[in-house]
Amino acid sequence: MLSKLANKVIRDNLYERPTNPTIQSKALHWLVPWAGGALPYRSRGARSVSFQVPSRADVSHSPRKAKTRHIYVTDNAREGQHPRFQQVVIVTPLNVASMEEVWVELRAPRFVVHGHSAVLRCDHNVDPETLYKVVFFKSGQRIMQHVQGRDPPFELYNFTGADINLPKMTPTSITLERMDFAASGPYACEIALEIPLYSKASKIHEVSVIVRQKFRPRIKIKHKKLSSNDDLEASCQSAPAYPAPHLTWLINNVKVDEHLTIPHGTVNVHRHHHGQPLSLTNSSLRFPLSNLELSPNQTVYITCLSTIPSYASLTEGFADVQNHTVPVNVVRMVPVPTQLPVKIISVDLNRSSYLLTQNSSQIAARGARAKRYKGRTK
């Protein structure tokens, strides 16, 4: 009878059910510590009784976010009389102030090279002793769960695209090895507590299996020797990969504005990697060199950066990166003057030039008159 009443008190305080009307606020006499499945407790001067706590599967009601770990119960019954429960106080020694502060996060790489391995870790801020179950999901389907106190504690489900390393499994982490393209997709994890009945899932984390580039991108430049007033015209083609790489232009290690670049999209090539078709990316550049502050006969360095993905994360950087740099000789042109230069001649030089011109004219005139005179005499 005592066990049934104790079960009723605990059920009333763990689930959405009417509270036992016989419970009143009085002094505490009994201490019921949580011990996995059973809750042994004793009364002052009374016999010890053990009873089973209702498990998560036994009750279909939605649980309260109750804070529980130890349950204190009072009993004022005398020997031979029916015990009456006077008070139940539910407390929790979790390492968080409330259930709203519980956080769960799945930590895993965003990109994994085909055939390589990845570690998926379910991080949380719940006391490991209160943790009842951890479940890993892919695309909403279970791939592994760990249940504390069960023998064996691990349970694996059908999973294609990778092998789970059994010796490296822990209650909160799994290692996926020899990952294939089928292993790409959304992953998540969930933690659950039995007392109180509470569970929380992490956010979705996308994992992609990629094929790296095998060589650097190729740059073609229309003219390798230009003047500072010319436009630099170049094209770049990445190596085949999966997914198609992203191309970024740099001049003297400074990123070029995208409005000066012309993307030409991706092209599927006749190459496959374990059945997966590969793609390459093309891009061109038209950059006015007049935008640069150049010294005479300066060399400008053009770089094509080919990456997967298009941007680098703070923790992982790029999953794959290749680059190619070529030099271009730029000749600085001297500005064309607005007017012709004027040569200033001194007054003395002007006078002497005038006299020289006058003497030459007189001598020429005399020669002409002499020729006319000879013609007449004949």
pLDDT single digits (tens) 91-119:
444 555 567 789 999 999 999 999 999 99
pLDDT score at 75:
45
In this predicted model, which residue has the larger pLDDT, 364 or 83? 364
31-45, 311-325, 336-350: lowest mean pLDDT where?
A: 31-45
* pLDDT at 345 exceeding the cut of 90: no
Rounded to two decimals, what is the model's pTM? Answer: 0.63
**Is 233 or 96 the better-scoring residue by pLDDT?**
233
Cβ atoms of 171 and 102 closer than 8 Å: no
pLDDT tens for residues 254-263? Answer: 999 999 999 9
Give 147-199 pLDDT, tens digit per residue: 999 999 999 999 999 999 999 999 999 999 999 999 999 999 999 998 778 89
The pLDDT value given to residue 313: 77
Place of tokens 């279970």: 142
Identify the residue whose tokens are 């504390």.
148
Strand partners, 226: 330
What confidence category does residue 20 fall into, taking pLDDT thresholds of 50, 70 and 90? very low
* Structural domain spans, the chain: 2-91, 99-210, 218-331
Q: How confident is the model at residue 121 (pLDDT cuts 50, 70, 90)?
A: very high
Which are the contacts of 117, defined by CB distance < 8 A and separation ≥ 6? 165, 175, 176, 177, 178, 179
Give the residue, 8 or 96, on which the prediction is more confident. Answer: 96
What was the pLDDT predicted at 243? 96
Average pLDDT over residues 117-134: 94
pLDDT at 14 exceeding the cut of 90: no
Instruction: Give the pLDDT of residue 47.
Output: 33
- What Cα–Cα distance (Å) separates residue 217 from each residue in 212, 248, 276? 13, 11, 21
Mean pLDDT over residues 311-337, rounded?
83
- Mean pLDDT, the chain, integer: 75
For residues 300-310, average pLDDT: 95
pLDDT (average), residues 82-96: 45
Instruction: List the beta bridge partners of residue 277.
Output: 272
Share of the chain above pLDDT 90, in %: 49
- pLDDT band, residue 377 (cuts 50/70/90): low
- Of 261 and 50, the one with more pLDDT: 261
- Which has more confidence, 356 or 187? 187
Of 39-43, 216-220, 253-257, where does mean pLDDT reach its minimum? 39-43
Of 31-35, 215-219, 373-377, which range is least confident?
Answer: 31-35
Q: How confident is the model at residue 278 (pLDDT cuts 50, 70, 90)?
A: very high
What's residue 196's pLDDT? 78
pLDDT band per the 50, 70, 90 thresholds, residue 247: very high
Say whether pLDDT at 17 is over 50: no
- How much is the pLDDT for 376? 60
Do the domains at 99-210 and 218-331 have one common CATH topology? yes
Binned at pLDDT 50, 70 and 90, residue 371 comes out as low
More confident residue, 298 or 136: 136
The segment with the largest mean pLDDT, out of 24-33, 82-91, 133-142, 190-199, is 133-142
Single-letter code of the amino acid located at 128? P
Helix/strand/coil (H/E/C) assignment for every residue in the chain = CHHHHHHHHHHHHHECCCCCCCCCCCCCCEEEECECCECCEECCCCCCECCECCCHHHCCCCECCCCCCEEEEEECCCCCCCCCEEEEEEECCCCCCCHHHCCEEEECCCEEECCCCEEEEEEECCCHHHCCEEEEEECCEEEEEEECCCCCCEEECCCCCCEECCCCCECCEEEEECCCHHHCEEEEEEEEECCCCEEEECCCEEEEEEECCCCCCEEEECCCEEECCCEEEEEEECCCEECCCEEEEEECCEECCHHHEEEEEEEEEEEEECCEEEEEEEEEEEEEHHHCCCCCCEEEEEEEEEEECCCCECCCECCEEEEEEEEEEEECCCCCCCCCCCCCCCHHHHHHHHHHHHHHHHHHHHHHHHHHHHHHHC
The CATH topology of domain 218-331 is: Immunoglobulin-like (2.60.40)
Does the domain at 99-210 match CATH 3.40.50.720? Answer given as: no
Q: State how far the Cα of 119 lies from the Cα of 107, in Å rounded to an integer.
A: 8
Between 31 and 345, where is the model more confident?
A: 345
Q: Are 213 and 309 in contact (CB under 8 A)?
A: no
**pLDDT in the model for residue 6:** 46
